[in-house]
Chains A and B, each alone.
Chain A
Amino acid sequence: MSGASYAVGSARSNGWWGMVVFVLGETTLFLMLFATYFYLRLQSHHWPPPGIDKPPVLTPVLLTAALASTSIPMQAAWTRARHGNRVAAWWLLAAAAIVQVGYLIWQVHDFVLDVHREPPSHSAYASIRSTTLAIDHAHVLLGVLLTAWMVVRLATRLTPYRLRGLQATTFYWHAVNAITIAVLFVVDLSPHL
């Protein structure tokens, strides 16, 4: 383990700024999905349509809470890595990756069941619900791949370049977790209101 400290200073790297712009673009995409969801809801007399059960609450809430909690080890990993503590950062990343993968597997399993039960072509409700969830899961998948890549890279050594990658990955996860909480409120909780 290296005791060297990689001080990044107050200036952000271009990689971090690039991630900020990417996240802004993705946030716009989700805002448009939310706007579409509520537009369709306002046009409907029944939401969900008759014959379709309201979405479950407990499982999505618990899963989202578990995913959101990974922001803590991700941030801690970045802090440890910044101070040169590669091994601690690696373990924190690995712990976060396990929860993130577990979340994704469970959610994709539920998503496939949902789509088979109520195909998107059957109603506007099923269409916007499955589209929003699929895009959110795709963002989680991208985050899982980024975390896995950082786990692989930090297994050997820590460099300023990899540190900046971890910084951008951590920021991405904070954003994805916030977006996933918003998706939970819109897609799973709002039909109960």
Chain B
Amino acid sequence: MTRFRLELLQWYALFAGPLMWATQHALEFGWTNAHCSTPVAAWNVPAIWLNVLITAVCGSAVVAAEVAAFVVYRETANVGEYAPGPYGRMKFFAQAALLGNVLFIVIVALDATGAFYHGCGQA
């Protein structure tokens, strides 16, 4: 794999998790709250299916980031643990993303659960 592709995968692996979770959180929080207002509720948009769609898109992107991290980690398997330069950084960030994206997958699942069980009567 070329270095350019590895770089792309590494940065995607590192940043897609937090960005996708933030996107999912903002969209589901905003939509779920808006759905509780009388004018928006009158639109009869199925809130649960919209939340499922948002979670599916964002969750898939985070899972793809985990896969990207694994690919970069495999491609840099021969690079030393504290090697300087781009390849050392790519391996370092791939390791960080491998762990971080597992946490983000769990956070996305928890966020979706919260949105599904949100009741309009709650404060």
A residues whose Cβ falls under 8 Å from a Cβ of B? 9, 11-14, 17-18, 21, 28
Nearest to A10 among chain B residues (CB) is: B85
Nearest to A18 among chain B residues (CB) is: B92
Q: CA of A12 to CA of B84 in the docked complex: distance in angstroms?
A: 7
Majority SS at the chain A contact face? helix
Q: How many residues of B contact A (CB 8 A)?
A: 11
Q: CA of A3 to CA of B84 in the docked complex: distance in angstroms?
A: 23
Nearest to A17 among chain B residues (CB) is: B89
Say yes or no for B96: interface residue by CB 8 A criterion.
yes
Rank and list the top 4 A-B pairs by shortest CB-CB distance, nearest first: A11-B85, A14-B92, A11-B84, A17-B89
Residues from chain B with Cβ under 8 Å of A9 in the complex: 84
Encode contact with A along B72-96: 1 for CB under 8 Å, 0 otherwise.
0000000000101110110011001
Residues from chain B with Cβ under 8 Å of A17 in the complex: 89, 92-93
A11 and B82 contact, Cβ closer than 8 Å, known pairs A17-B92, A18-B92, A21-B96: no
Given contacts A12-B89, A18-B96, 8 further A-B contacts (CB under 8 A): A11-B84, A11-B88, A11-B89, A14-B82, A17-B89, A17-B92, A21-B14, A28-B18
Residues from chain B with Cβ under 8 Å of A21 in the complex: 14, 93, 96
User: Could you say which of B14, B84, B93 has the most chain A C-beta atoms within 10 Å of its C-beta?
Assistant: B84
Is the Cβ of A13 less than 8 Å from the Cβ of B84? yes
Residues from chain B with Cβ under 8 Å of A28 in the complex: 18
Residues from chain A with Cβ under 8 Å of B82 in the complex: 14
Residues from chain A with Cβ under 8 Å of B88 in the complex: 11, 14
Q: CA of A28 to CA of B19 in the docked complex: distance in angstroms?
A: 11
Q: CA of A11 to CA of B86 in the docked complex: distance in angstroms?
A: 7
Nearest to A28 among chain B residues (CB) is: B18
Q: CA of A61 to CA of B93 in the docked complex: distance in angstroms?
A: 38
Q: CA of A17 to CA of B14 in the docked complex: distance in angstroms?
A: 12
Nearest to B93 among chain A residues (CB) is: A17
Sample 22 A-B pairs with CB under 8 A, ordered by A number: A9-B84, A11-B84, A11-B85, A11-B86, A11-B88, A11-B89, A12-B89, A13-B84, A14-B82, A14-B84, A14-B88, A14-B89, A14-B92, A17-B89, A17-B92, A17-B93, A18-B92, A18-B96, A21-B14, A21-B93, A21-B96, A28-B18
